[in-house]
Amino acid sequence: MKISAYLFLLLTSLFWQPAFAAESTAIKILQQDRGRDYGLMVGELIHHHYIISTDSEYTLTTASLPIEGELNYWLDLHSVELKSTEKQNRTIYRLSLVYQSFYAPLDVRALTIPAITLDFLTSQEQRVSLTLDEWTFTMSPIKEITPSGVGNSDGVDHFMKPSIQPHRLKLKPIETRLIILCSLLLLCLLFYVALSGWLPRLNRSPFLQAKRQIKALSKQDLKQTEHYQACLQALHQAINQRAGQTIFFSRLDTFLNTHPAFQTLDKPLRNFFTQSEASFFFAATPEPSYIKDCIRLCHQLADADKVSLKS
Amino acid sequence: MTNASPQSDISISDWHSLISHMENSINSTILGQEQIVRLITIATLSRGHILLEGDVGVGKTTLLKTVAETLGGNFERIEGTIDLMPHDLVYYTYIAENGKPGVSSGPVLKHGDELSIFFFNEINRARPQVHSLLLRIMAERSVHAFNQTHVFPHLQVFADRNRIEKDETFELPAAARDRFMMELHVEQPQAENQLKDLMFNPRFHDADKLVDSADKAIVPFQQLNHIAASIQDTVQASPTIKNYGYHLCRAIREPANYGISLSDVDSNTLIKGGMGPRGMSYLARGARVNAWLNEREAVIPEDFHTIIKQIAKHRIFLNPVYDYDRDAIIDSLLDSVLNTIQSP
């Protein structure tokens, strides 16, 4: 009787499979990395990585994941990160847990991070659990219990240590990129400025140069004939430069016909040539007030010049 | 020159209307030559001699006769031929009615100091000896003959040269060409109605009658020297315009120094000579007269532009290698000079 009872037990134990054992192939930990389990210091981050494979019918219940925050008085769960991918009818979960231990042991002390139970649900609401085992590690003190020198009357606190020099980030690649980008930006700006006619030497319109010249000259005493005439001459030179030949009063019509953009300025241009002739050839008294008109004419000609260059 | 001229009793404004009347009269007689008439007026008031050039039958002689009629004074004309000798201008010999040989004054001396216009037709057919005499008449307005010097204070020489025919011709020497203030190229009128008028209007068929129909002696030729001097005194030239005129003349002589380049021409070796002080002086005088004719008190660049081609073209001497295309090169040079030199 006793023997038959033992045989029955043996057979039943062979054919009976518990629920967990039945699910172990459907849900399994493919890989786990929990790092070094010794010599950890106070404040150190502990990284646990798990790769869990399940049949695609199982879905991890995110509510079963541990909640970030203080787990106990010395252990914080810093972060929980879960990523999942589907692969050949299986779901791969990548779980990363980051703990931080604030335990400050005076000697080497073994501590345990508690086990975690993850729940998986099937489409038929069948619940299956997977336990991530607890993890025991040893923490080490960061200082001696009694450093040498303690108790001396030299006034030095031997528990204090100098701060660690901050780690210097390598800035060289960033600096190089910054220099290249700044140079490109500068080049673009220069190109834009040149196109806009703001560079004195690369001016597209000679009238802008004439305007600057006249403005500079107009600071002198314009009642003096030579200063007054220098202003007029600057505009004459700009007109000649734009025309590619000397433009006299009698050729103004030809100039306006070949440069139609300036035709709207016919009247002020005629006035300018009249003033210029009066000053240069008829010894007329300078009219300093006209120089303002002259500057305005330069501005209008430069504006019209842009139009003519674009067209 | 001016000491032989009586003081003018005509006011400046009256002179303007007289000159305007003269030009209108010539233009109504000679069709389509308004620009030539204006240039002749400028030369007359600058007391410069004129070399005419042009196709045959375009009215050069009629034009000159008309100018002579309107100016008043005496007009003489001589035809240039290969056997013409200098003495033919001064005297001629003949057998008188009494059978004795006689000597009379030639065309130059016939009118004494009343000679106003002397027209030398086809000057390049005459020999260099004749050119030589003409040089003196033009430059000094005098000639020595019959043991005395004859002075022609009001004389203006017009010459015509035919550049189509080259046989039996003598090219005018450089010195003779330089003594002409202007060389005018007379072309036939371009306007259709004017040509039709010349073709069908009987008024233009008889040249002598036509010249006779022009108003005569509009301008007192004896006072031309005085008004010419007066114009030069009254019309102002500012330092800027003097500078411009000077650089125009320099650029014609030294185009390379002014950055003037012509296609297929080496500007450094292009010019051999010409446009010397006499030419520069004529340019300034002509510019002042043009300013005066346009009732301006001072010279402006356009006054130079009006006359520079007629004054400069015949007195520029090119390197012989460029003579084959002389007219085109000089036209191009003068255009470049006018486009390059700035004023102010």
CATH of the domain at B330: 1.10.8.80
> Can you state the percent helix, strand and coil of chain A, rounding each to 5?
40, 25, 35
| pLDDT at A185 exceeding the cut of 90 | yes
Per residue in B278-288, pLDDT (tens digit) is 999 999 999 99
To the nearest whole Å, the CA of B245 is away from the closest chain A CA by 12
ipTM entry: 0.83
One domain for residues B138 and B280: no
Binding-face residues of A in 201-240 toward B, CB within 8 A: 229, 232-233, 236-237, 240
Indicate whether B3 belongs to any domain.
Answer: no
Indicate whether B2 belongs to any domain.
Answer: no
To the nearest whole Å, the CA of B188 is away from the closest chain A CA by 26
Are B238 and A232 in contact (CB < 8 Å)?
no
| pLDDT at B111 exceeding the cut of 90 | no
Per residue in A104-140, pLDDT (tens digit) is 998 899 999 999 999 999 888 888 999 999 999 999 9
One domain for residues B140 and B256: no
Q: Does A15 touch chain B (CB under 8 A)?
A: no
| pLDDT at A16 exceeding the cut of 50 | no
Binding-face residues of A in 252-311 toward B, CB within 8 A: 276-277, 280-283
Residues B193, B195: Cα–Cα separation, whole Å: 5
Q: Which residues of B make CB contacts under 8 Å with A?
A: 236, 238, 240-241, 297-302, 305, 338-344
Instruction: Count Cα neighbours of B2 within 13 Å in the Cβ-side half-sphere.
Output: 13
To the nearest whole Å, the CA of B113 is away from the closest chain A CA by 39
Are B236 and A229 in contact (CB < 8 Å)?
no
Q: Which of B225, B260, B276 is the last residue of a domain?
A: B225
Of residues A276 and A151, the one with the higher pLDDT is A276
Taking contacts as CB-CB distances below 8 angstroms, the residues of chain B near A280 are 238, 240-241, 343-344
| pLDDT at A310 exceeding the cut of 50 | no
Furthest-apart CA pair in chain B: how many Å? 72
One domain for residues B211 and B240: no
**Percent of chain A predicted with pLDDT > 70:** 87
Are B241 and A281 in contact (CB < 8 Å)?
yes
The CATH architecture annotation of domain A22-139 reads Sandwich (2.60)
Are B238 and A233 in contact (CB < 8 Å)?
no
Using CB atoms, pick whichever of B238, B241, B342 lies closest to residue A240.
B342
One domain for residues B269 and B179: no
Residue B325's pLDDT band (cuts 50, 70, 90): confident
The set of residues, in sequence order, having a beta carbon less than 8 Å from that of A281 and lying 6+ positions away, is: B238, B240, B241, B298, B299, B300
Indicate whether B9 belongs to any domain.
Answer: no
Give which of B238, B304, B308 to mutate to test A binding, by max A Cβ within 10 Å: B238
One domain for residues B94 and B163: yes
Q: Which of A4-8, A15-19, B237-241, B325-329 has the lowest mean pLDDT?
A: A15-19
State the average pLDDT for chain B: 87
Are B236 and A249 in contact (CB < 8 Å)?
no
One domain for residues B94 and B133: yes
For the beta carbon of residue A63, count every other beta carbon within 10 angstroms.
Answer: 7
| pLDDT at B117 exceeding the cut of 80 | yes
Per residue in A242-291, pLDDT (tens digit) is 898 899 999 899 999 998 889 999 999 999 999 999 999 998 888 888 99
Report the residue of chain B nearest A237, measured CA to CA. B342
Report the residue of chain B nearest A282, measured CA to CA. B298
Indicate whether B8 belongs to any domain.
Answer: no
Using CB atoms, pick whichever of B236, B240, B339 lies closest to residue A245.
B339
pLDDT for residue B300: 94
Per residue in A66-112, pLDDT (tens digit) is 999 999 999 999 999 999 999 888 999 999 999 999 999 988 999 99
One domain for residues B167 and B57: yes
Taking contacts as CB-CB distances below 8 angstroms, the residues of chain B near A277 are 300
Indicate whether B5 belongs to any domain.
Answer: no
Q: To which residue do tokens 């003269």 refer?
A: B22
Q: Which of B176, B191, B225 is the last residue of a domain?
A: B225
Highest mean pLDDT among A4-18, A186-200, B310-324: B310-324
Report the residue of chain B nearest A226, measured CA to CA. B240
Indicate whether B250 belongs to any domain.
Answer: yes
Handedness of CA B214, B219, B221, B227 (dihedral sign): negative
User: Which regions of chain A carry the CATH code 2.60.40?
Assistant: 22-139
One domain for residues B208 and B296: no
| pLDDT at B210 exceeding the cut of 60 | yes
Taking contacts as CB-CB distances below 8 angstroms, the residues of chain A near B342 are 236-237, 240, 246
Are A246 and B297 in contact (CB < 8 Å)?
no
State how far the alpha carbon of A38 is from the alpha carbons of A46, A99, A137, A264, B266, in Å: 11, 15, 6, 89, 96
Q: Which of B168, B202, B225 is the last residue of a domain?
A: B225
Instruction: Count Cα neighbours of A244 within 13 Å in the Cβ-side half-sphere.
Output: 3
Report the residue of chain B nearest A239, measured CA to CA. B342
Residue A17's pLDDT band (cuts 50, 70, 90): very low
Indicate whether B192 belongs to any domain.
Answer: yes
Using CB atoms, pick whichever of A245, A250, A280 lies closest to residue B240.
A280
One domain for residues B183 and B243: no
**CB of A48 within 8 A of CB of A33?**
yes
Residue B110's pLDDT band (cuts 50, 70, 90): confident
Indicate whether B313 belongs to any domain.
Answer: yes
First to last CA, chain B: 35
Structure-token pair, residue B8: 């003018």
Helix (H, G, I), strand (E, B) or coil at A36: coil
φ, ψ of residue B299 to 5 degrees: the values are: -80, 140
One domain for residues B261 and B127: no
Q: How many domains does chain B fold into?
A: 2
Domain coverage including residue B308: 235-340
Report the residue of chain A nearest B260, measured CA to CA. A245
CATH code at position B203: 3.40.50.300
Q: Output DSSP code: residue A156.
A: -
Using CB atoms, pick whichever of A236, A245, A282 lies closest to residue B297.
A282
Are B342 and A277 in contact (CB < 8 Å)?
no
Are B300 and A245 in contact (CB < 8 Å)?
no
Inter-chain CB pairs, A–B, below 8 Å = 44
